[in-house]
């Protein structure tokens, strides 16, 4: 064999080896997407206790602060991108501006034009009713909240931009009843609501004082007296929706954002204790496990999808998806308390620079390791919510397209 033939034969063999390596490492098929690895760290965090007002007619009073040490352990996780079966998307509403979702059956509370609407599929098809009219200035949107009580009836919270007031409504057999909770200064933007029954109703919301200071506030229903007590949770907060949930003792917990990062709060003896969880967060969602451990999914300012697990001053931080080269927009989390506290997250992202071609990914550790499933691809989506039913199935609501058409998908 000539020297020239030997060289040609070697090149052919090398090309075959490279091609086989390319195939068996997963190129050309669905492959795992490994998140980045970060170094474990221990940091000092601050716990702040505010002495709030407890009436619905006075402004916030910020009290003394206490400092504790918080230990944060940062770890990495591996996510695998694959396929999961969802039913075909259902159209809940042809247009919306913002929404929230909860389960009993699926319940949506959304805004469109100047009005607020409720839609559910309790009877097998979507039934939509007007809840309140002419409460929203055209062109302005502010997150509403919905919570389905143990009775199966929905309770909602929302902002009346014409009166700058926090409003609340609930449905019973006779229809909807509307209440104004607070018209103090500018109350009610970015609201979140958690209701168990008529005696346990809580709302977290954004409040702007007459002096233009920003707060997260808590409205707590006093069943004995039939009114709402208002408490300050924290001041100088970011204009991001807080999340409020109830633990197994029906005591409220909140997650929200400040300039110094992700915050967690709990109500103790009629006052809020707050803790800094992470120094980087721009959008947040929270649920609790069966042991009241908090699971907080959030989007870091570096666009990473991250999970904080813990309580008070001790947290484990996991970066689930590296956001390098991405833009991220919204996130929602649900914890299945009846299935070993498995975590289910839906979030919206796009390749950086292509923000109108967005995706909704569903991330879960139900199989024992983190996996990512594509739910919606390459379309404009603005908000997303996820809930888990008693059969451990995921239900996802989202707003899509130029008119923000409200869509709903459920896992098969």
Domain boundaries, the chain: 1-30, 33-410
- Return d(Cα 46, Cα 261) in angstroms, integer: 11
Give the tokens for residue 139.
Answer: 């062109």
pLDDT of residue 76: 56
pLDDT of residue 9: 45
Q: Can you spell out the DSSP letters for 341-388? A: TEEEEEEEEEETT-TTSEEEEEEE-TTSSEEEEEEEEEE-EEEEEEEE
Ranges assigned E (strand) in 139-199: 145-148, 154-160, 165-172, 175-182, 186-197
Give the tokens for residue 214.
Answer: 């920003």
pLDDT of residue 409: 96
Please name the residue that has the structure tokens 């970066």.
Answer: 319
Residue 389: burial class (beta carbons within 10 Å; 0-12, 13-18, 19+) = middle
pLDDT of residue 97: 93
- Return d(Cα 235, Cα 3) in angstroms, integer: 79
Nearby residues of 211 by Cβ (< 8 Å), 6 or more positions away:
none
Residue 193 near residue 155, CB atoms below 8 Å: yes
pLDDT of residue 255: 98
Which has the closest alpha carbon to 411: 387, 378, 377, 382? 387
pLDDT of residue 171: 97
Residue 399 near residue 380, CB atoms below 8 Å: no
- Around 107, how many Cα atoms within 13 Å sit in the side-chain half-sphere? 20
Which has the closest alpha carbon to 234: 48, 94, 393? 48
CA torsion 28-363-387-223 (nearest 10°) is -160
Residue 75 near residue 320, CB atoms below 8 Å: no
**What is the C-alpha R_g of the chain?**
24
Nearby residues of 288 by Cβ (< 8 Å), 6 or more positions away:
245, 246, 247, 248, 253, 294, 295, 335, 337
Residue 207 near residue 215, CB atoms below 8 Å: yes
CATH among 3.40.50.300, 2.40.37.10, 1.10.10.60, 2.130.10.10 for 33-410: 2.130.10.10
Q: How many contiguous H segments (helices) and E segments (strands) does the chain have?
A: 1, 32
pLDDT of residue 77: 56
3 state SS of 255: strand
Give the tokens for residue 362.
Answer: 């569903």
Residue 51 near residue 61, CB atoms below 8 Å: yes
Give the tokens for residue 8.
Answer: 């040609």
Residue 204 near residue 187, CB atoms below 8 Å: no
Residue 273 near residue 254, CB atoms below 8 Å: no
3 state SS of 5: helix
Residue 398 near residue 381, CB atoms below 8 Å: yes
Give the tokens for residue 334.
Answer: 């649900």
User: Which residues of the chain, if any, have pLDDT below 50?
Assistant: 1-71
pTM: 0.82
Residue 208 near residue 217, CB atoms below 8 Å: no
CA 61 centroid distance within chain: 28
Residue 155 near residue 201, CB atoms below 8 Å: yes
Give the tokens for residue 275.
Answer: 């803790």
- Return d(Cα 280, Cα 22) in angstroms, integer: 37
- Report CA-CA distances (Å) from 357 to 21, 99, 172, 326, 348: 32, 21, 41, 11, 10
């Amino acid at each position: 064999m000539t020297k020239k033939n030997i060289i040609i034969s070697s090149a052919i063999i090398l090309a075959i080896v490279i091609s086989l390596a390319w195939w068996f490492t997963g190129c050309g098929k669905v492959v795992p997407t490994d998140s980045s690895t970060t170094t474990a760290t221990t940091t000092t965090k601050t716990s702040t206790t505010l002495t709030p007002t407890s009436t619905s007619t006075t402004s916030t009073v910020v009290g003394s602060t206490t400092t504790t040490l918080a230990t944060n352990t940062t770890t990495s996780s591996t996510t695998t991108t694959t396929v999961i079966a969802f039913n075909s998307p259902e159209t809940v509403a042809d247009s919306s501006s913002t929404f929230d979702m909860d389960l009993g059956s699926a319940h949506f509370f959304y805004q469109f034009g100047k009005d607020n609407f409720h839609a559910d599929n309790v009877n097998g098809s979507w039934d939509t009713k007007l809840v309140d009219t002419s409460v929203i200035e055209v062109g302005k949107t502010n997150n509403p909240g919905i919570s389905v009580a143990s009775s199966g009836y929905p309770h909602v919270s929302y902002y009346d931009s014409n009166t700058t007031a926090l409003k609340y409504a609930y449905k019973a057999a006779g229809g909807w009843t509307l209440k104004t909770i607070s018209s103090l200064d500018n109350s009610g933007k970015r609201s979140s609501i958690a209701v168990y029954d008529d005696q346990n109703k809580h709302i977290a919301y954004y409040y702007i004082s007459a002096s233009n200071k920003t707060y997260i506030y808590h409205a707590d229903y006093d069943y004995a007296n039939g009114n709402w007590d208002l408490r300050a949770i924290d001041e100088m907060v970011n204009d991001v929706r807080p999340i409020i949930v109830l633990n197994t003792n029906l005591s409220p917990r909140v997650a929200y954002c400040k300039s110094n990062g992700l915050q967690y709060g709990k109500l103790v003896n009629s006052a809020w204790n707050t803790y800094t969880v992470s120094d980087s967060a721009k959008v947040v969602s929270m649920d609790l496990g069966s042991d009241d451990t908090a699971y907080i999914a959030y989007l870091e300012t570096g666009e990473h999808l991250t999970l904080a697990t813990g309580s008070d001053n001790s947290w484990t931080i996991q970066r689930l998806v590296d956001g390098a080269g991405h833009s991220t927009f919204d996130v929602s989390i649900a914890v299945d308390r009846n299935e070993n506290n498995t975590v289910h997250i839906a979030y919206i992202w796009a390749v950086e620079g292509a923000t109108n071609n967005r995706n909704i990914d569903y991330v879960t550790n139900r199989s024992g390791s983190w996996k990512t499933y594509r739910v919606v691809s390459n379309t404009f989506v603005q908000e997303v919510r996820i809930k888990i039913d008693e059969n451990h199935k995921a239900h996802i609501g989202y707003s899509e397209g130029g008119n923000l058409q409200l869509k709903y998908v459920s896992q098969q």
